[in-house]
Amino acid sequence: MKSLSYLNKYFLKYKWRFLLGVLFIIATNIFTAQMPVIIGDGVDELSHLFDDSNELDKDKLIRSAAWVGGLYFLFAFIKGFFLFLTRQTIIIMSRLIEYDLKNEVYAQYQKLSASFYKKNNTGDLMNRISEDVSKVRMYLGPAVMYTVNLLFLFVFVIWQMLSVSWELTLYVFSPLPIMSVLIYFVSRMINKRSEQVQIQQSALSTMAQEAFSGIRVLKAYHRENLFSDEFDRASESYKEKTLRQVKVEALFMPTIIVLIGISTILAVYIGGLKAMDGEITVGQILAFVMYINLLTWPFASLGWVTSIVQRAEASQKRINEFLMEEPEISNPSTSLLDLQGEIEFKNVSFTYPESGIQALNSVSFKVNPGETLAIIGRTGSGKSTITNLVCRLFDPSSGKILIDGKDLKNINLDAYRKEIGYVPQEVFLFSDSIKENIAFGLDGENDMEAIEDAAKKADLFTNIVSFQHGFDTILGERGITLSGGQKQRLSIARAIIKNPKILVFDDCLSAVDTETEENILRSLKDDMGAKTTLIISHRVSSVKNADKILVLDNGSVVESGSHDELYNQNGNYRQLYDKQLLENQK
Ligand code: ADP
Ligand code: MG
Q: What residues pair up with 502 in beta bridges, in sequence order?
A: 420, 532
**DSSP-derived secondary structure for 80-109:** HHHHHHHIIIIIHHHHHHHHHHHHHHHHHH
pTM for the predicted model, two decimal places:
0.79
Which region among 259-273, 369-383, 399-413, 524-538 has the lowest average model confidence (pLDDT)? 524-538
- The Cα–Cα gap between 214 and 235 comes to 20
424 lines ligand 1 (CB under 6 A): no
pLDDT at 389: 94
Helix (H, G, I), strand (E, B) or coil at 342: coil
Crossing angle for the helix pair 144-164 and 166-173, to the nearest 10 degrees: 130
Cα of 380 from ligand 1 centre, angstroms:
5
For residue 363, name the pLDDT band (cuts at 50, 70, 90). very high
pLDDT at 281: 92
Q: What residues pair up with 549 in beta bridges, in sequence order?
A: 374, 561
Q: Is the pLDDT of residue 59 over 70?
A: yes
Cα of 379 from ligand 1 centre, angstroms:
8
Cα of 357 from ligand 2 centre, angstroms:
15
Residue to mutate (ligand 1; options 357, 381, 554; most atoms within 8 A of CB): 357
Amino acid at 563: H
Q: What residues pair up with 504 in beta bridges, in sequence order?
A: 422, 534
pLDDT at 525: 72
pLDDT at 36: 94
- Of 208-212, 240-244, 472-476, give the range with the top mean pLDDT: 240-244
Cα of 521 from ligand 2 centre, angstroms:
19
Q: Is the pLDDT of residue 479 over 80?
A: no
Q: Is the pLDDT of residue 13 over 90?
A: yes
> Closest by alpha carbon to 494, among 464, 443, 455, 548?
455
pLDDT at 52: 63
Q: Is the pLDDT of residue 50 over 80?
A: no
**How much of the chain exceeds pLDDT 90, in percent?**
47
Phi-psi region of 533 (alpha: psi -120 to 50; beta: other; left: phi over 0): beta
Cα of 295 from ligand 1 centre, angstroms:
64
> Closest by alpha carbon to 549, among 40, 539, 246, 512?
539
> CB–CB of 374/552 below 8 Å?
no
Q: Determine which helix (DSSP H) or strand (DSSP E) holds 51, and give its type and residue range.
A: helix 15-52
Q: Bigger pLDDT: 395 or 118?
A: 395
pLDDT in tens, 534-580: 999 888 888 888 899 999 999 999 999 988 898 898 888 888 888 88
- The Cα–Cα gap between 106 and 323 comes to 10
Cα of 556 from ligand 2 centre, angstroms:
15
For residue 35, name the pLDDT band (cuts at 50, 70, 90). very high
384 lines ligand 1 (CB under 6 A): yes
382 lines ligand 1 (CB under 6 A): yes
Q: Which protein residue's CA is at the shortest distance from atom 10 of ligand 1?
A: 382
Look at the alpha carbons of 144, 146, 147, 152 in this order and tell me if their dihedral is positive or negative.
positive
Which region among 167-171, 255-259, 274-278, 415-419 has the lowest average model confidence (pLDDT)? 255-259
pLDDT at 133: 94
119 lines ligand 1 (CB under 6 A): no
390 lines ligand 1 (CB under 6 A): no
Q: Bigger pLDDT: 80 or 210?
A: 80
Cα of 383 from ligand 1 centre, angstroms:
8
54 lines ligand 1 (CB under 6 A): no
- DSSP 8-state symbol, 393: S
Cα of 348 from ligand 2 centre, angstroms:
17
- The Cα–Cα gap between 393 and 77 comes to 62
Cα of 383 from ligand 2 centre, angstroms:
5
Q: Bigger pLDDT: 434 or 53?
A: 434
| 63: Cβ contacts below 8 Å, ≥ 6 apart | none
Cα of 507 from ligand 1 centre, angstroms:
14
pLDDT at 19: 96
- The Cα–Cα gap between 362 and 400 comes to 10
pLDDT at 528: 58
- Average pLDDT value over all residues in the chain: 88
Cα of 192 from ligand 2 centre, angstroms:
47
pLDDT mean over 63-71? 91
pLDDT at 586: 63
> CB–CB of 197/241 below 8 Å?
yes
385 lines ligand 1 (CB under 6 A): yes
pLDDT at 209: 81
pLDDT at 580: 81
381 lines ligand 1 (CB under 6 A): yes
pLDDT at 402: 94
> CB–CB of 315/132 below 8 Å?
yes
pLDDT mean over 79-100? 95
3-state DSSP percent of the chain in helix, strand and coil, to 5: 65, 10, 20
Residue 336, classified by CB atoms within 10 Å of its CB into exposed (0-12), middle (13-18) or buried (19+), is exposed
Q: Which protein residue's CA is at the shortest distance from atom 2 of ligand 1?
A: 384
pLDDT at 476: 78
| 59: Cβ contacts below 8 Å, ≥ 6 apart | none
377 lines ligand 1 (CB under 6 A): yes
CB atoms under 10 Å from CB of 146, counted, come to 20
Q: Is the pLDDT of residue 57 over 80?
A: no
Q: How far is CA 248 from CA 9, 192, 331, in A?
A: 38, 11, 54
Residue to mutate (ligand 1; options 352, 397, 553; most atoms within 8 A of CB): 352
Q: How far is CA 197 from CA 93, 242, 314, 498, in A?
A: 30, 6, 17, 50
Q: Bigger pLDDT: 29 or 225?
A: 29
354 lines ligand 1 (CB under 6 A): yes
pLDDT at 53: 63
pLDDT in tens, 149-176: 999 999 999 999 999 889 999 998 888 8
135 lines ligand 1 (CB under 6 A): no
Helix (H, G, I), strand (E, B) or coil at 195: helix
- The Cα–Cα gap between 336 and 250 comes to 67
Q: Is the pLDDT of residue 140 over 90?
A: yes
Q: How far apart are the first and last CA of the chain?
A: 72
pLDDT mean over 419-444? 88
Q: Which ligand is nearest to the CA of 550?
A: 1
- Spatial strand order of the sheet with 502-506 comes to 420-423, 502-506, 532-537, 372-377, 548-553, 556-561
Give the distance from CA 185 to its chain's centroid: 32
> Closest by alpha carbon to 348, among 394, 309, 380?
394
> CB–CB of 492/463 below 8 Å?
no
Q: Which is the closest atom of ligand 1 to the Cα of 552? A: 3
Which region among 9-18, 73-82, 98-107, 355-364 has the lowest average model confidence (pLDDT)? 355-364
Pair type for strands 398-403 and 406-407 = antiparallel
Which region among 195-209, 260-274, 287-301 has the lowest average model confidence (pLDDT)? 195-209
pLDDT mean over 228-233? 91
Q: Which is the closest atom of ligand 1 to the Cα of 352? A: 25
- The Cα–Cα gap between 173 and 575 comes to 92
355 lines ligand 1 (CB under 6 A): yes
**How much of the chain exceeds pLDDT 70, in percent?**
98
